[in-house]
Amino acid sequence: QVRLVESGGDSVQAGGSLRLSCEASGITATSGTVGWFRQVPGKEREGVASIWRRTGATFYADSVKGRLTISQDNVKNTVYLQINSLEPEDTGMYYCASDDAHLSKWYDRREYRYWGQGTQVTVSS
- Environment class of 102 (CB within 10 Å of its CB; exposed 0-12, middle 13-18, buried 19+): middle
Identify the pLDDT of residue 28. 85
Identify the pLDDT of residue 99. 97
Q: What is the rounded CA–CA span in Å between residue 63 and residue 91?
A: 14
**pLDDT tens profile 32-83:** 999 999 999 899 999 999 999 999 999 999 988 899 999 999 999 999 999 9
| Mean pLDDT for the chain overall | 96
Q: Is residue 29 over pLDDT 90?
A: no
Q: What is the rounded CA–CA span in Å between residue 94 and residue 42?
A: 15
Identify the pLDDT of residue 30. 85
